[in-house]
């Protein structure tokens, strides 16, 4: 198959075609590329977003832990108050 391709193009034409393809690809990349300083700014912005997200997730986890802790304390306090009221009521009725 390689021999057949070589028969269609001379060595010079083959090199010229490869060079033209490489140049087209390079031009395509450079034409759509953004300036280096703008690229750096994008990376800084993205790192700032990631840091903010990490801080927000940590804060949310702390809040969730705190809320669950207070929920447990409230439930136990409610149970304690109910038991205390039950004893007071029972004590008054036993007199």
The answer to whether residues 6 and 14 touch, using CB atoms and an 8 Å cutoff, is yes
pLDDT in tens, 24-39: 887 776 666 778 888 8
The residue ranges of every structural domain in the chain are 1-33, 36-95
pLDDT in tens, 59-80: 999 999 999 999 999 999 999 9
The contacts of residue 53 (CB under 8 Å, 6+ apart) are none
- Split at pLDDT 50, 70, 90, the class of 53 is very high
| Cα separation, 67 vs 71, whole angstroms | 6
């Amino acid at each position: 198959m390689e021999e057949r391709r070589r028969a269609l193009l001379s060595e010079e034409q083959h090199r010229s075609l490869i060079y033209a393809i490489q140049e087209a690809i390079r031009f395509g990349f450079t034409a759509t590329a953004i300036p280096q300083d703008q690229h750096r700014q994008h990376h800084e912005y993205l790192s700032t977003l990631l840091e903010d997200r990490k801080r927000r997730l940590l804060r949310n986890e702390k809040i969730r832990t705190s809320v669950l802790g207070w929920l447990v304390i409230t439930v136990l306090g409610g149970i304690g108050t109910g038991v205390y009221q039950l004893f007071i009521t029972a004590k008054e009725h036993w007199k």
